[in-house]
Amino acid sequence: MKALRAAFAPLQSEEKTPSSSTIVESATIVEPPDWDEATDFTSDEERQERARARLRSGLQRMIREFREIREGASYLEEVPPAYLAELFFILLSYLAIVWKDHFIEDDFFSESATALLSGFWGELTEPGAWTLIRNNLIEEDQQALLRKWDLCQRTWFIAFLLARLWKEDRTKIDDLAAWLRYFCSLDGQPDILREFSADEWEKQWQSSVPGAWERLSAEKVIAELNAILPRYNEKTLIAELKAWPNTRVEKKFVNISNISRVPALEIHLPFTSQEDGERCLDAFLTFLRWPHQKNAAWMICYNVNPASHPEAIASLRFLYRDDLREFFVAKKASDFDDPYIIYELSPTTPTELIELRANGELRLPPLFSTT
């Protein structure tokens, strides 16, 4: 600002009007104002918004470059695996801090955090940087790296923040639940948050959570995360079923047992063991319960390779109807045989079926006499 006043001082003098040569001479000895000085013409709000824009741009670039690492398997030939884990920790921590201090908006935080989590851990159909690390470290070194930066605990904590932000958005919560189930398959359950000491929990909360939020214990956060995990919508259920090896899935409506337009799933998969049947049972109960409890549901699982087992099985069929409170499973041994009921339970409800399954009391009878 001083430089600007010096430049224009000759024009503002109440004494004699200077010649053009004097003005030029005065102007040429003053350097143009730099960017910081020029911002003095703007309001505090405008300067803050410009700083936030630069912060957002820088974070987006760093996260984008971090996600691109997983596309190059040769990256770890030049950089030690620990560097990737540390970089993930730094970016995730910094993102939470600037969000907590209101430098970035909720939407930017949630989008960036989601990109970071999937970039490091991967997704259902796409591996992340962690896969590169696992391929280059023995199990003992992998666990040491996770413990050094508390990566699993911090991931679950960020997931809790996202769940709170998205509590009114059913689709985003369901998508988060799907990703968390994938994460569970890598490194355990939200119970790992108990490994934070009281001091560590306090520091995590202070550095990551806005001051206006209610302070929760680790047990309450774990309970909220566990309540999210079972959630599905149609898209996430079908995506998980399609991730089974060599499996095709189709959602449709069918007329069956004198009921019209029954929601139905048709699954084509290689059927070679009892476990395949149990997986189909789990899929049916999930379909029956989510995204809302159905009055009736039908699912048929076709074996795409019946010759793969000495005791052929062509298909399994599942039906629940609320009007009769009836659930049954039927098996068809071959295309030339009629299906016959192998399991039936009545009266029952979807809630009872899910509870029985969770308690280990609902299992299919042996589908094969030999294994």
pLDDT in tens, the chain (371 residues): 332 232 223 333 333 333 333 323 333 333 444 545 444 556 788 888 899 999 999 999 999 988 887 666 566 667 788 888 999 999 999 999 999 999 999 999 999 999 999 999 999 988 888 988 888 899 999 999 999 999 999 999 999 999 999 999 999 999 999 999 999 998 789 999 999 999 999 999 999 999 899 999 999 999 999 999 999 999 999 999 999 999 999 999 999 989 999 999 999 999 888 999 999 999 999 999 999 999 999 999 999 987 666 677 899 999 999 999 999 999 998 878 899 999 999 999 999 999 999 999 999 999 986 54
Question: Do 333 and 250 form a contact (C-beta atoms < 8 A)?
Answer: no
Q: Tokens 């820088």 identify what position? A: 58
Specify whether 301 is located in the same domain as 223: no
What predicted TM-score, i.e. pTM, was given to this entire model?
Answer: 0.82
Specify whether 58 is located in the same domain as 181: yes
Specify whether 171 is located in the same domain as 280: no
Q: Tokens 């070679």 identify what position? A: 272
Specify whether 77 is located in the same domain as 199: yes
Specify whether 77 is located in the same domain as 164: yes
Residue 36 belongs to domain spanning: 2-41
In a domain, 73, yes or no: yes
Specify whether 13 is located in the same domain as 156: no
Q: Tokens 């280059």 identify what position? A: 136
Written as six digits, the tokens of 131 are 């896969």
Q: Which of 227, 130, 107 is nearest to 177 (CA)?
A: 227
How far is Cα 318 from Cα 87, in angstroms, rounded to an integer?
A: 48
Q: Which amino acid is at 110?
A: S
In a domain, 363, yes or no: no
Length of the chain as a residue count: 371
Specify whether 97 is located in the same domain as 192: yes
Q: Tokens 């909720």 identify what position? A: 106
Specify whether 103 is located in the same domain as 204: yes
Of 200, 228, 256, the residue at which a domain comes to its end is: 228
Of 228, 246, 281, the residue at which a domain comes to its end is: 228
Written as six digits, the tokens of 22 are 């004097």
Phi-psi group of 30: left, alpha or beta (phi > 0 → left; psi -120 to 50 → alpha; rest → beta): beta
Number of folded domains that form the chain: 3
| Angle CA 252–325–229, to nearest 5 | 60
Displacement of CA 357 from its chain's centroid (Å): 26
Of 180, 197, 228, the residue at which a domain comes to its end is: 228
